[in-house]
Structure 1
Amino acid sequence: MNRSSFRSVLYLAAILPFFFSDCKKSSSGPASGSGGNGYYTRFKMNGSSVEYDSQPFAGITLLKSDSLYTCVMVAYKDVNAGLKNAVTIIIYSANPIAANVGYNDPLKSRRSNGIMVPQTTIFWYDSTGTGYLTAGEFADNTGNTGIAGVIANAKLTITEMTSASVKGTFSGTVYRSDLARSAAITDGEFYLKRSQ
């Protein structure tokens, strides 16, 4: 996949949270933060601790047109700032999304049209709104991206899933669309409200 396709995927990632979120921006209560509900996404970015607890949620659905189960997880530092300091994680699976299953690069899921998609893609937006994403979209089944120095290593496991919440761990290397910068996400964990 070329750099233009990479930018297209970043654009898609930028608009996806708005389609899946049933959360509303509100001026009541704190402008940021989870309002004391305890939901969050936290991780280390190049070794520095990061936590997003503004409107964290997970939505799980079956995309009938693709014959794939999908889980979209979103969290912001401040939901009112838009896609700045935000993370979106998307899981695709041919089987129902489940706890204690690894969704890892370079494993793929097959859409109904035959196109292979990564099981896990992590999108991260920095403080300027610049988007970064993991390289699974560009890797073959062996993890080869064909781009020197770019690795597909996203890993995610849902450790607990109820009708009310989703909890788990994740990691991966994210790349800016021009591939000039990358960042390592390690020690990622999430506890998200599950939207129905």
Structure 2
Amino acid sequence: MLLKNLHRFALILALGWACSGPTAKEGMSTSSFDQITDNPDDKPRGDYPYFIRAKVNGELKEYRDPDLLQFSKATIMPGVHQAAVVGGALDTEQNGSSGGFTIFIKDDEQIKAKRYDFLEPFEETGFGLKGATIGYYTAGHRKNYVSDVNKEAPVVVISELTDDYARGTFQGKIYDIVGGEMVSLTDGEFYVERLN
């Protein structure tokens, strides 16, 4: 139980970090891009093609804000590798976020194009959870949902990983960290710029 709560706390901190500062390349502006759209037929606007989207209980949520959309990866310690896909939208009127998705992958080998369909304790190192975790948060973080290690594991597939971008799909059941309410993420996909 303590491990699960610590993991949830770390995810909330990461969600906040993902929304705290710019990550777009120099010279990019969000002024010509829609930051969120609920139209599945909507095509990328301007020169910024990146996005993350999924159906949340059947309702499409899509985020394209260049300042809040990225893929990054790091080696935490020998034998512990992590990647993050984050995307959200700013709510300038409320000085916060209008929602977003997070995907964290932790493995004992370098993160690469691969199917991650497990979530389990990181037995080799004792360092948190190994596998894929998906998160979704609503406006102002009023609701925060995350994968539960004691339930069905999410499925995250990194289909392409280049020096410039990451592309893939995701789906799974995620749970409100306070009340336990479940939401289903389906038809999830991402095409995001690499930060590192």
TM-score range normalised by the length of the shorter chain: 0.7 to 0.9
When residues 76 and 174 of structure 1 are mapped into structure 2, their CA distance, relative to the original with a 3 A threshold, is: same
Pair 1:176-2:176 in alignment: yes
Deviation at 1:11, TM superposition (A): 3.1
| Post-superposition offset of 1:177 | 1.5
| Moved >4 Å (runs of 4+) | 2-7, 18-21, 26-29
The residue number in structure 1 matching 2:110 is 96
Structure 1 CA distance for aligned equivalents of residues 103 and 46 of structure 2: 22
User: Per-residue deviation at 1:123?
Assistant: 1.4
TM-score by structure 2 length?
A: 0.76
Amino acid of the residue matched to residue 109 of structure 2?
Answer: N
User: How far does residue 135 in structure 1 lie from its aligned partner after superposition?
Assistant: 0.6
Q: Contact between 2:103 and 2:134, CA under 8 Å: does it hold in 1?
A: yes
Work out the percentage of aligned pairs sharing the same amino acid.
24
Flag the 1:115–1:62 CA change in 2: closer, same or farther, 3 A: closer
Deviation of residue 29 (structure 1)? 4.5
Q: Is the 8 A contact 2:98 2:140 kept in 1?
A: yes
Q: Describe the superposition over 1:141-185 as per-residue Cα deviations: whole angstroms up to 9, x where unpaired.
A: xxxx2xxxxx23211010011100000000111111123422100
Q: In structure 1, how many angstroms separate the alpha carbons of the residues matched to 2:30 and 2:54?
A: 25
8 Å contact from structure 1 (residues 60, 71) kept in 2: yes
Aligned to 2:13: 12
Q: TM-score, normalised by structure 1?
A: 0.76
Count of residue pairs the alignment pairs up: 180
1 CA distance for matches of 2:127 and 2:111? 19
Q: 1:97 to 1:176 in 2, by over 3 A?
A: same
Query: Which residue in the other structure is 1:193 paired with?
Result: 193
Map 1:1-196 to 2 at 5 A: 1=1, 5=6, 8-17=9-18, 22-23=23-24, 29-30=30-31, 33=35, 36-55=47-66, 56-64=69-77, 67-78=79-90, 82-99=96-113, 101-110=114-123, 112=125, 114-129=126-141, 130-136=143-149, 145=150, 151-196=151-196
User: Which 5+ residue runs of structure 1 have no aligned equivalent?
Assistant: 137-144, 146-150
